[in-house]
Amino acid sequence: MIIVLSKTISAHDKEMVRIYLKDRGFNIREQVFGEEEIIGALGKGIVDTRELGLLPGVERIAATSKPYELASRETQSEDTIVTVGGASVSPVKIGGSRITVIAGPCAVESKEQIRETAELVRESGAVILRGGAYKPRTSPYAFQGLGVKGLEFMKEAGESLNMPIVTEIVSPELVDVMKDLTDMFQIGARNMQNFELLKKVGSIGKPVLLKRGAANTIEEWLMSAEYLLASGTKDVVLCERGIRTFETYTRNTLDISAIPVVKGLSHLPVIVDPSHAVGIRAKVSPAGLAAIAAGADGLTVEVHPKPDAALSDGPQSLYPEQFERLMRDIEALAPVVGKELLRTPLRRHPATFTPFIQRKTERTEEVEKITFCGESGAFAEQALVRVFGDDAPRLPVTSFKAVFDAVLDGSAGAGVAPVENSLAGSVHENYDLFLRYPDIAIVGEVKLRITHCLIADEKSDIESIAVVRSHPQGFAQCQDFLAKHPQWQLETFNNTAEAVASIAREGALKVAAIASEAAAKSFGLKVLKVGVETNPLNYTRFVVISRRVGDKASAPPSLGSGAPNKASLVFSVNDEPGALFTCLQILSGRGINLSKLESRPIHGRPWEYLFYVDVSLPKDADIFDTVVGELKAKAKDFHFLGTYRAAI
């Protein structure tokens, strides 16, 4: 049973609620979920809920239908996002809109081995380092781990590469020894129902990765999570690692269906361990990608520099080059499932984009906001979350120009703006704004899959709709659907989320909007039809913009830890034969790939055109500097929009 407390409850009234519950045989567990403070009444106590509801400060009682009350989505509808690290390394989040990848060897074998592995997986994009210092093995003669010394080696490697670490704990007696040497405890499959261990680990309050037992049901798994939550920790990540079935070809059978099932039952994040699930190196990557497609919030993968010489689980450990390919495949798959691969900076800096920009003023150190055009649920806000994280402070504005203004005048540290859609083409307004704001540069990009919905009031139905509102790009992307309803009057808005907000404000019953499902949820409206876009392969490319400081602009590390590999340029040419060819030949002659070329009329100069160009950067920066110099000499006008890490 969950008791939700009033936001204005006094300390005295809260204590009276505690005493009331304890006197009736309940154990109590206090916790904050989102904006609500709750008391979990656990155990087999007996209470009259009507009497309990009359106590001062009790807002409501949520009697759940599940035995796992704190882990249940009935208790908390919003997804929990677990934060790992934050003391000696940058914090890493598991859950929400990001895919988090944990990687490392099965066991720490030496200082050199864990350091080498950490460097390899970090370079490929892993953000948390895994490794076993205490290894529960089936055979008493197998390698059991290096113990505390192994933990010290792993912690040193993690801190040097700005990676939190996660390691398995096998006994309650080890909690005090390990608590200062790891950022996250792992409860292995063999110990999932070691209740004394669960209670002890939960009482520490650190994040916990809880693996499902090989022969345990989903409910038993969630009940083990309940032990951890009831004992004190609020950060639990569930890990599916395969269950034992009659099939013997693979080590275990990966229960893919458990991912959507558990995410429907619980608010806790779910990741998958494909290494233990299949136990065969060649099958790990396909199983991992299947888990991402099914909705997993991340993976934990075993990687070893020399798997054939590994002291534990060598046959299922990936070679570094296999892990590199898996990470690239995840990055390509992520937008399809509406997520982004999480990246973190290689170094921990106290004042960077981690997870968003910070600056020091004369008074204090404050967190800068990220600006976007629209209201809650806008596609631009979803792109913002992909880059800066779910808890990034946001500054919504009413126009694309206002986004640029906010970044220029310092109201926001960065902005997010759409520049191209795979169906409707370029967003010319924003390309033109770059020419009007030469102090603004592109520092990153993100690609977002766009699924449009027809949204209306709860009391409306599709037959009653007379007016449809959206952004012009929204209409352009849904032409086939709109053509089936020629009687509808179309009204344009500055952005899709604003169109949804207008219906909520007016209470209009004959008006619908084309926007995202997130916008419908934000304003309490109903989705009449999902997927009304003309082509399901509908993506929008958003750019992250920042103010230039000299010739540079700061890029958030979340956009990728590697060097920029893409640049955007704008130029015009003289009205003479071969002028454009000459400029393009400069790029071709230096081996620079052209990924986009588009012409736009120049305002106020009839029949003259600007050429918008995206290019891949060569590894040698001097080559690109030479190309820019040659283009400036040949072109009539030249504008450099920025260099950044390309989104896959």
> Residue 33: what pLDDT?
59
Length of the chain: 648
- The 10s digit of each residue's pLDDT in 602-626 is 877 888 889 999 999 998 888 999 9
Hey, which residues are catalytic here? Answer: 540, 542
Closest CA to 242 of 197, 185, 194, 290: 290
Assign domain 562-644 to its CATH superfamily: ACT domain (3.30.70.260)
Of the pLDDT bands very low, low, confident and very high (cuts 50, 70, 90), residue 203 is very high
For residue 489, is pLDDT > 90? yes
Alpha-carbon torsion (14, 20, 23, 29), positive or negative: negative
Please answer whether residues 426 and 539 qualify as being in contact, where contact means their C-beta atoms are separated by less than 8 angstroms: no
Is residue 127 exposed (0-12), middle (13-18) or buried (19+ Cβ within 10 Å)? buried
Whether the pLDDT of residue 34 is over 60: the answer is no
% pLDDT > 90, the chain: 65
- Taking the CB of residue 250, how many other CB atoms lie within 10 A of it? 16
pLDDT of residue 343: 79
| pLDDT tens track for 44-103 | 777 888 888 888 998 888 766 788 888 998 878 889 999 999 888 989 999 988 899 999
Q: Within 10 A of 298 (CB to CB), how many other CB atoms are there?
A: 29
The dihedral through the CA atoms of 34, 39, 44, 49 has a sign that is negative
- In whole numbers, what is the pLDDT of the chain averaged over residues? 89
Spatial contact of 289 and 333, defined as CB atoms under 8 Å apart: yes
* Residues contacting 535, CB < 8 A, separation 6+: 422, 423
Instruction: Kindly state the average pLDDT of the residues 313-337.
Output: 92
Rounded to whole angstroms, the Cα distance separating 168 from 75 reads 29
Q: Give pLDDT, residue 648.
A: 61
What is the arithmetic mean of pLDDT over 465-481?
94
H or E element that contains 19: helix 11-23
pLDDT at 481 over 80: yes
Per-residue model confidence as pLDDT tens digits over 381-418:
999 988 888 888 999 999 999 999 999 999 999 999 99
pLDDT band at 580 (very low <50, low <70, confident <90, very high): very high
Q: Return phi, psi of residue 168, to 5°.
A: -80, 140
Question: How would you list the strands of the sheet with 566-572, edge to edge?
Answer: 594-601, 609-616, 566-572, 637-644
Q: Three-state DSSP class for 593?
A: coil
As a whole number, mean pLDDT of residues 231-241 equals 95
- pLDDT value for 422: 87
CB 527: neighbour CB atoms within 10 A?
15
Give the CATH fold of the 82-341 domain. Answer: TIM Barrel (3.20.20)
User: What is the token pair recorded at 226?
Assistant: 């309940």
CATH architecture of 2-62: 2-Layer Sandwich (3.30)
pLDDT tens-place string over residues 150-171? 999 999 999 999 999 999 999 9
pLDDT in tens, 533-560: 998 888 899 999 999 865 555 555 455 4
What is the maximum alpha-carbon separation in the chain? 92
Read off the pLDDT of residues 583-598 as tens digits, 9 standing for 90 and up.
999 999 999 999 999 9
Mean local confidence (pLDDT), 267-275: 97
CATH of 453-530, one of 3.40.190.10, 3.20.20.70, 3.40.50.720, 3.40.640.10: 3.40.190.10
pLDDT digits (tens, 9 = 90+) for 90-103: 899 999 888 999 99
The neighbouring-strand residues paired with 543 are 417, 445
Give 125 or 537, the one with higher predicted confidence: 125
In a 13 Å sphere around the CA of 422, the CA atoms on its Cβ side amount to 14
Fold match flag (82-341 vs 453-530): no
Cα-based distances in Å from 635 to 509, 570, 574, 631 = 55, 10, 7, 6
Which string of DSSP letters, residue by residue, matches 434-490?
A: HHH-TTEEEEEEEEEE---EEEE-TT--GGG--EEEE-HHHHHHTHHHHHT-TTPEE
Closest CA to 121 of 368, 410, 383, 318: 318
Q: Does domain 358-450 fall into CATH 3.40.190.10?
A: yes
Paired sense of beta strands 98-104 and 298-302, if any:
parallel
In the chain, where the domains are located:
2-62, 82-341, 358-450, 453-530, 562-644
Residue 639 in this model has a pLDDT that exceeds 50: yes
